[in-house]
Amino acid sequence: MLSIVNPFDGYALEAAAWIKDKNPSTNIVEVSMGTEQARGVLKECLAIAAVKAFLVSGHPFGSSDTLATSYILSEAIKKIEETDGKFDLIFFRKQAINGDL
């Protein structure tokens, strides 16, 4: 299965890139939760505008629902902020596209 940048993630990345265009010192950091397959998507985000990318992956996260995913990502963000400093602004996507029926 091919991973693609979710259109809603793309909109968030575009908004962040717009801010970076206006403020070149802005650093865009991508954080995603998924399988190793998601690394390709993160590489694409790095090619577009991000300066760092983190993948939260592993068997314990496999069947996470929306609430669990949100919590796991919030904890990952806290960990990143411990080493990289606090984020000024965080964009989230509207929804996943793989659950739409």
Alpha-carbon span 99 to 4, nearest angstrom: 14
How many domains, the chain?
1
Q: What is the pTM of this model?
A: 0.84
Residue 92 covered by a domain: no
- Three-state DSSP state, 57: coil
pLDDT in tens, 45-63: 999 999 999 999 888 877 8
Confirm whether 90 is domain-assigned: no
The sign of the dihedral angle between the CA atoms of 67, 68, 71, 73 is negative
Q: Answer yes or no: is 42 within a domain.
A: yes
Range of the domain at 16: 7-84
Residue 1: inside a domain = no
Q: Note whether residue 18 is domain-resident.
A: yes
**Is 21 within a domain?**
yes
Q: Do 38 and 6 touch, CB atoms closer than 8 A?
A: no
Instruction: Give the C-alpha separation, 14 to 8, whole Å.
Output: 10
Digit-coded pLDDT (tens) for 57-86: 888 877 888 888 889 999 999 999 999 999
What is the identity of the amino acid at 43? K
What is the chain's percent helix, strand, coil content, to nearest 5? 50, 10, 40
